[in-house]
Amino acid sequence: MGLLTTEPAAAQEPDPALRAMERAAARYREVAAMCADFEQVIEVRLVRRTIESAGRVCQQRPNLFSMRFTDPQGDMVISDGAHFWVYYPSIDEEQVRRQPAAQSPGRHDFIREFLEDPASKYTAEDGGTELVKGRECRVVSLTPRTGASYLGARLWLDTENDIIRRLELAEESGNLRTVTLSEVDLSPALDPGLFTFEVPEGARVRGPPPAANEPPGSPARPSRP
């Protein structure tokens, strides 16, 4: 009578963190656009200060992004596909930061960064399950395989529908940024103006000028000397 050998059960089970990321990435590929309310908390550890904010975030594939704050009112981060525009009038109403979108997707468009081909960019570690606003989520810790604008991240992925409910970024500055999403809409009616940024009159634009071969982006007035 021959012996029936089997692999250990643990070896047969797919890694739960990798499986959760694969499902979330597949869901991301199915969705053309999304919007959600957000609550953001930034722990500025150097000065032991906590900054809280809130608003509405929207994204349209492949590279349009809008993060418009209601608290503080008027702050925003916009990608028109060519550039990211960062404007925080609550801090300085006369300064706008502009950066080529291709150079900083992860720093601002966190949805695209984490769910677009994640297996090639991160190693994933399972952190069990936790509740976020009453939703059961798989917690996944991510370590960048190559250089990134942050040291590491954690995602809370809804176990029922595979969307991001919360993310935590350990930034190079030492700050810890946490964004919690709610009222997620996976089929929003989006106004194209949502992804357009107009530089306020008198504001200075900081950042590299558009390259000659770059497509036109949102209108920008010349920087003041």
CB within 8 Å of 173: residues ≥ 6 apart: 46
What value does the mean pLDDT take over residues 100-122?
A: 78
**pLDDT surpasses 80 at 13:** no
**Higher per-residue confidence, 18 vs 125:** 125
First CA to last CA distance, the chain: 89
In the structure, what pLDDT confidence band is assigned to residue 163 with cuts at 50, 70 and 90? very high
**pLDDT surpasses 90 at 69:** yes
pLDDT at position 196 = 96
DSSP, collapsed to helix, strand or coil, labels residue 183 as strand
What value does the mean pLDDT take over residues 136-156?
A: 89
Handedness of CA 199, 202, 205, 210 (dihedral sign): positive
In the structure, what pLDDT confidence band is assigned to residue 46 with cuts at 50, 70 and 90? confident
Cis peptide before 72 (omega within 30 of 0): yes
pLDDT, tens digit (0-9, with 9 covering 90-100), for 188-212: 999 989 999 999 999 999 987 665 5
Question: What's 194's DSSP letter?
Answer: G
pTM as predicted: 0.82
